[in-house]
Structure formats: structure tokens, C-alpha cells
């Protein structure tokens, strides 16, 4: 039977240790290392010809899946605790959109202020971490929480992902898909960035408030100082903001029984104003420039 080789083990202090951090010597020879998966003794192999690794002292069946699951779980627990104790950040990076509300009344929809990945330091919001603690009907691998009741589940997925019930519970979940020892690198780096290996469930991905304070980052200004630049600003508005109200195909229906007031005579159905963002038939209405001129107050 081929001996399983691992890069990590549990030392005599109960902490995970990477073989790359060991140097051959009497101190290492006196140390006892245990397998993260099966708890049996491991021997450090620190030769020069082969890559350093731990191997079992006695050949034994050991689950590699269990090893990966426990390794990721223990490393997260240890590193996050260290961050809390030493006042260091532990970052997450998720897809996030900021909407500016300054022009919302005029445009009927908020502007996209920025869109991309945004970083948050988990330790600023969650100052407690526990291993496999029951929370309601669930037992997450790790539970991040705060005295104010806020919490996040951290799940380690090696062969089994979070259940549909858990994902649909509206509980925020960070799920790390671990297929090899290399996949715990984000944990070691204290940065979990959303990608094909790290999933974020039920997180708020939007924020809306007055970001531009009246000066749009795209160049459109709410305050027009003279009649001669009204047309330029209106044209810019049409090019920047796709909105069904700006489209020549829309018809405005006054119907108190409906909350979707825009009717498209191309698709023969009602839409919300935001539908224009992904509409292949969107066509700005040049008449809007004249209307904009008429409703804009004189300076």
C-alpha cells in the first residue's frame, strides 16, 4: 500500500504545522507529530532529494478527503483567532455594486457608481469564532459571530457542498471548495476572494446612497449653468443611462392597478425601467432632449 504524504501535521502543542517550516535537527526529532485525519503518528521526511513531507510511521488506511477537510477547518480557525488576538485583518473580497441615489428622482433609477470586487475585513464585524457549533438546525464547520447577533457560516467542501436547505436559509455562507493542499492558500494569505473555488451565499451585494454629491462621475451634472449646454448634457444622459423611459419604443400607461407602468410596443408587454439595460431593441428617443430642455428650470 502506498504511503500517503502530507504537507501538514499536528504538533505536540495541538497546532497545525507545515513541513516546509521544519529544519532537520534534534528538536524536530524529539517532537511528535500526529495526522490531521486519523490522529496516528507521522514522521517528518526532511531529505534533500525529495520534497519535504510527513508520512505515517506505520502504514495505515487514511482518508485524504478527511485530511483536507480538517486541514482547511483547523487552519481557518487558528489563523482567524490569531488575527483577532493580534488585531490583524482577515479579508473577504466579493462582487459588489454601489449605486448613487443623487439623480434617482430625475432618472427614475439610481446610477451605477462603481461595480467590481470590494474588500471587507471580517474581524471588524465578527469577533468570535467557533468550531462545529450548532446554530438552529445547522452545524456549520465554523461559525463567525458577534455579540449583536450577526453571524456567518464558513463551510469546507471537499466532496460534499452545502445543502440546498442551508443555501436557501438566507444565512450568509462562505464556502471553500478544497481539492488539494494548495486550495488552503487563500486561508493562509488571509484573503478569500470570490472565484470558482470560493462561493459567497446570501450576501448583500448592493449599497445605495448619495456617493457623487451632485457631480456625476460619468460627467453628467445635475445643475445646468446655461442653456447652451443643456442639449449636450441631455445627449450625454441618453448615452450613459439606459432606461425604458428614454426609449422611443415605450408607452406610458396610467393604471393604478399595476406597478409596472411602462409598456413596450415592440415586445407587447410591460417592463420596469431597468429592463432597458439588457434590451437588444433599446433605442434612445431624440425627443427626450427637447423634453429635458422644457422641464429644466432656468438658471
pLDDT digits (tens, 9 = 90+) for 275-291: 888 888 888 776 654 55
pLDDT (tens digit, 9 = 90+) per residue, 52-98? 899 898 888 899 999 999 999 999 999 999 999 999 999 999 998 88
Q: Pick 135 or 285 by higher pLDDT.
A: 135
Closest CA to 98 of 254, 258, 212: 212
| Residue 221: predicted pLDDT | 42
Global pTM? 0.68
Percent of the chain at pLDDT > 70 equals 81
| Residue 35: predicted pLDDT | 94
Residue 129 has pLDDT above 50, yes or no: yes
Q: Are 266 and 280 in contact (CB under 8 A)?
A: no
Residue 238 has pLDDT above 50, yes or no: yes
CA pair distance 289, 154, nearest whole angstrom: 52
Angle, CA 181 vertex, CA 180 and CA 184 arms, to 5°: 105
CA pair distance 191, 269, nearest whole angstrom: 46
Residue 271 has pLDDT above 60, yes or no: yes
| Residue 295: predicted pLDDT | 39
Amino acid at each position: 500500500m502506498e504511503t500517503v504524504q502530507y504537507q501538514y501535521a499536528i504538533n505536540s502543542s495541538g497546532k497545525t504545522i507545515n513541513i516546509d517550516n521544519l529544519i532537520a535537527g534534534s528538536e524536530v526529532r524529539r517532537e511528535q507529530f500526529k495526522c490531521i485525519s486519523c490522529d496516528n503518528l507521522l514522521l517528518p521526511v526532511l531529505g534533500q532529494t525529495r520534497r519535504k513531507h510527513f508520512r505515517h510511521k506505520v502504514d495505515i488506511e487514511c482518508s485524504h478527503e478527511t485530511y483536507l477537510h480538517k486541514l482547511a477547518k483547523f487552519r481557518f480557525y487558528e489563523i482567524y483567532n490569531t488575527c483577532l488576538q493580534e488585531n490583524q485583518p482577515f479579508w473577504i473580497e466579493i462582487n459588489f455594486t454601489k449605486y448613487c441615489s443623487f439623480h434617482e428622482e430625475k432618472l427614475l433609477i439610481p446610477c451605477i457608481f462603481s461595480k467590481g470586487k470590494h474588500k471587507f475585513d471580517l474581524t471588524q464585524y465578527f469577533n468570535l469564532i467557533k468550531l462545529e457549533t450548532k446554530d438552529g438546525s445547522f452545524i456549520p464547520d465554523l461559525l463567525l459571530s458577534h455579540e449583536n447577533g450577526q453571524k456567518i457560516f464558513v463551510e469546507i467542501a471537499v466532496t460534499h457542498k452545502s445543502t440546498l436547505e442551508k443555501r436557501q436559509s438566507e444565512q450568509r455562507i462562505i464556502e471553500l471548495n478544497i481539492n488539494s493542499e494548495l486550495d488552503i492558500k487563500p486561508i493562509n494569505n488571509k484573503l478569500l476572494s470570490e472565484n470558482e473555488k470560493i462561493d459567497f451565499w446570501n450576501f448583500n451585494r448592493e449599497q445605495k446612497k448619495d456617493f457623487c454629491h451632485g457631480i456625476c462621475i460619468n460627467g453628467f451634472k445635475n445643475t445646468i449653468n446655461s442653456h447652451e449646454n443643456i442639449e449636450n448634457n441631455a445627449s450625454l444622459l441618453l448615452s450613459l443611462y439606459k432606461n425604458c423611459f428614454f426609449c422611443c419604443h415605450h408607452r406610458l400607461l396610467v393604471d393604478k392597478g399595476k406597478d409596472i407602468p411602462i409598456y413596450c410596443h415592440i415586445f407587447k408587454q410591460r417592463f420596469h425601467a431597468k429592463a432597458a439595460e439588457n434590451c437588444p431593441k433599446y433605442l434612445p428617443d431624440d425627443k427626450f432632449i427637447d423634453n429635458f430642455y422644457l422641464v429644466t428650470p432656468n438658471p
